[in-house]
Structure 1
Amino acid sequence: MKRWKLFVLSVFASLYLPMVMASQSPVGTWTTTDDKTGKKRAVVNLEINQGSLSGTIVRVYPQPGDTGICSKCSGKFKDKPIEGLRFLWGLKEQGKGVWSDGYILDPKSGKIYRAKLTVKGKKLYVRGYVGLSMLGRTQIWVRA
């Protein structure tokens, strides 16, 4: 009987643990929303390459006045199409669904911020900041 219980527990753990671990991963597709209107803003895809997390804007939900071009951006981002833009890069895993030490570009303002991401179930808390993390703001993205 003990062996049977141990077997059942092992099977359950082997099926359940990968789901729990996957839920802590930021990899995949996320929907972003506008802070002011609450409307969908974009669909982004996050991926890990060589231990570094990066993100690309896959689809933009146009808003009045949008041109689809990163006109306020500078450097290599200047006048690039927003769809297909790699706007998040360099984040390293800190453990337990937390990624930091990278950067995020706000295509609307053209500004680049330090970034910290925290996965909590189907929500991704994305914090952009200058200098100290407490001097920033957080957006909540939802897994698409």
Structure 2
Amino acid sequence: MKSNNRIPHRIIAIVCFFMLQCTYSQTVFGKWKTVDDRNGVAKAIVEVYKENGLLQARILKILEKGKENAVCIKCKGELKDKPITGMKIMDDFERNSKGEYKGKRLFDPEQAMVFRGKVWLDPDNKNKLKVRGYLAFLYRTQTWHRVIEE
């Protein structure tokens, strides 16, 4: 009887899939569900991506009921009355030695305000992203939840 030492292709595919998931889940990049830290309401799906070596983020979809087609009413200039879906909310955040990303433009379209920001993975749960906005010495931190697509 001849033994077959070949590993079935399905097993290789499954192992590769899980390796990819482990690698993917260790990064800030991907899609995140934003949740209001004050009332727990799911607000939007945001895509965090890399462009020119820097972190960027844009709103992909608004989840809050009745605001799906919202425009930036409070914005001034070129963003005035523009759709919030598709809007860039983080520009050119740089990674530091602690694995955090920091930048000078974290934009809140609901308030039409720009903050300095910091973004990092929750050390206890890599499927949670901490997003902190600074205004002078005051700050506010939200926890965003990774969107795991199947």
TM-score range, shorter chain: 0.7 to 0.9
Aligned to 1:76, the other structure's residue is in SS state helix
Distance 1:96 1:17 in 2: 24
Question: Which residue matches 2:146?
Answer: 143
Question: Which residue matches 1:72?
Answer: 74
Distance 1:17 1:113 in 2: 36
Which amino acid in the other structure matches residue 122 of structure 1?
N
Segments of structure 1 that go 5 or more residues without pairing to the other structure are 1-14
Aligned to 2:96, the other structure's residue is in SS state strand
Asked whether the equivalents of residues 32 and 140 of structure 1 are also in contact (C-alpha less than 8 Å), the reply is yes
CA shift for structure 1 position 102:
3.3
| 1:73-95 deviation per Cα after TM superposition (whole angstroms, max 9, x unaligned) | 12332211000101111100113
RMSD: 2.5
Aligned to 1:124, the other structure's residue is in SS state strand
Aligned to 1:95, the other structure's residue is in SS state coil
For normalisation by structure 1, the TM-score amounts to 0.77
| 1:93-120 deviation per Cα after TM superposition (whole angstroms, max 9, x unaligned) | 1134310023111111100000100112
Distance 1:80 1:99 in 2: 27
Match of 1:126 among 124, 131, 134: 131
Asked whether the equivalents of residues 37 and 141 of structure 2 are also in contact (C-alpha less than 8 Å), the reply is no
Asked whether the equivalents of residues 92 and 102 of structure 1 are also in contact (C-alpha less than 8 Å), the reply is no
Distance 1:116 1:107 in 2: 17
Larger radius of gyration between Structure 1 and Structure 2: 2
Question: Which residue matches 1:45?
Answer: 47
| 1:40-77 deviation per Cα after TM superposition (whole angstroms, max 9, x unaligned) | 10000010011111101000023457760011112332
Could you tell which deviates more after superposition, 29-38 or 40-49?
Answer: 29-38
For normalisation by structure 2, the TM-score amounts to 0.74
Question: Which residue matches 1:3?
Answer: none
Per the alignment, do residues 20 and 94 of structure 1 end up closer, same or farther by CA in structure 2, a change over 3 Å counting?
farther
What is the number of equivalent residue pairs in this alignment? 128
Aligned to 1:122, the other structure's residue is in SS state strand
Per the alignment, do residues 71 and 35 of structure 1 end up closer, same or farther by CA in structure 2, a change over 3 Å counting?
same
Distance 1:75 1:99 in 2: 27
Distance 2:24 2:97 in 1: 13
Distance 1:117 1:95 in 2: 13
